[in-house]
Amino acid sequence: MIQRLADWLVYDIFGLDASTALGAAVNFFFYDTIKIVILLFFISLIMGIINAYFPIERLRNYLASRKLYGLQYFFAALFGAITPFCSCSSIPLFIGFVKGGIPLGVTFAYLITSPLVNEVAVAMFIGSFGLRITTVYVISGILLGMVGGFVLGKMRLEPHLSDWVKQIQQHSSSDSGMWEMEDTPFMKRLPMIIREACCIVKSVLLYIIIGIGIGAFMHGYVPEGFFEQYMAKDNWFAVPLSVLFAVPMYANAAGIVPIIEVFVAKGIPIGTAIAFMMAVVGLSLPEATLLKRIMTWRLIGIFFGVITLSIIFLGYFFNLVL
């Protein structure tokens, strides 16, 4: 139905020719924009319901007050998956975790997963690649957070936190009591949840439009074979090269998924394209700059190095199974 609506707008109302590059690009833009905005709203609504009954304070107190025998990595990564933050906006909550006395490896599990897996990424992935690939991506993103957090935690990196964080930890006392959720009927919470879902859509709408606009241009005007020349499956270096090129860049899922969709349509292996996306949204120079407030450059380098190698591994894995 969305495709028919896009065809009607572009070819009947605007009078563009479907056989031209402009017609194909504009049709791609309208179809993807309508589809992704609808998906994003409904998935944000579902995530809003989850967040309303499982708030940040409750998770932080739960992780700080219990021995979970390794499950804390799963809970932290899962919480990262249901919070709608990019890599930079995840950092304030990451700081709160560190200040609250939660182990550093567990906080890394959250920081790794949060920008990779959220309602924006899930909505756009379902719309672009379908449920199967989205499910593999979500599970892999959560596992990446868990394994990355566990590895970083075992490296005993606490001495490489900044002096500012160490001073805060010495003077702060974490509250060990569980936060009692306010007993508010669901129907009274629903209007606020709907407003929050609308706010999420509004906050990323510009990025969606820009990302889809770039993707539409590439879809209509970039010649066949252009990307395959550098990122083809038979080039063994394509995955690490894509990840290394992506690290200096910065975008959230709303801006990068439409571009990844065009990569795949142009013949780029799905694993290589997803590895590029993970590196763009999960690792960035702005994120490193913000992290400098709470980490030494050595710790930032270790964090980026571990996650970069993990993403490269996932890229090869995706190319094998998808």
* pLDDT tens readout for residues 178-206: 334 456 677 777 888 888 778 767 866 77
Per-residue confidence band for 258, with pLDDT thresholds at 50, 70 and 90: confident
Token pair recorded at residue 233: 């499956």
Domain ranges of the chain: 2-170+188-321
Query: How far is the C-alpha of 2 from the C-alpha of 35, rounded, in Å?
Result: 7
Mean pLDDT of 73-79: 84
Residue 66 in this model has a pLDDT that exceeds 70: no
Closest CA to 107 of 44, 164, 49, 165: 165
Least confident of 41-45, 49-53, 111-115: 49-53
pLDDT score for 217? 78
Predicted local distance difference test score (pLDDT) of residue 211? 66
Q: Is the model's pLDDT at 302 over the cut of 60?
A: yes
Judge whether 108 and 79 are in contact, CB under 8 Å: no
Phi first, then psi, for residue 295 (nearest 5°) are -135, 160
User: What's the mean pLDDT in 47-53?
Assistant: 68
Q: Would you say residue 49 has pLDDT above 80?
A: no
pLDDT at 82 over 80: no
Position 169 scores a pLDDT of: 56
CA atoms within 13 A on the CB side of 282: 36
Rounded to the nearest 10 degrees, the angle between the axes of helix 297-321 and helix 270-282 is 160
Average pLDDT, the chain: 76
Cβ contact 55:189 at 8 Å: no
146-to-86, 177, 266 alpha-carbon distances in Å: 18, 25, 33
Question: Which of residues 27 and 186 earns the better pLDDT score?
Answer: 27
Is residue 217 a contact partner of residue 25, using CB atoms and an 8 Å limit? yes
pLDDT of residue 171: 56
pTM: 0.65
CA-angle at 11, arms to 7 and 17, nearest 5°: 120
CA distance 257 to 263: 10
The pair of three-digit structure tokens given for residue 128, joined into one six-digit string: 């672009």
Residues 38-50 have a mean pLDDT of 73
Helix axes 238-246, 270-282, angle to 10 degrees: 20
Which tens digits make up the pLDDT trace of 214-248?
767 766 776 656 556 666 666 778 888 888 877 66
Q: How far is the C-alpha of 274 from the C-alpha of 260, rounded, in Å?
A: 7
The residue among 39, 43, 42 whose CA lies nearest residue 31 is 39
Specify the length of the chain in residues: 322
Separation in Å, CA 78 to CA 108, 128, 292: 12, 23, 25
- Rounded to an integer, what distance in angstroms lies between the CA atom of residue 205 and that of residue 202? 5
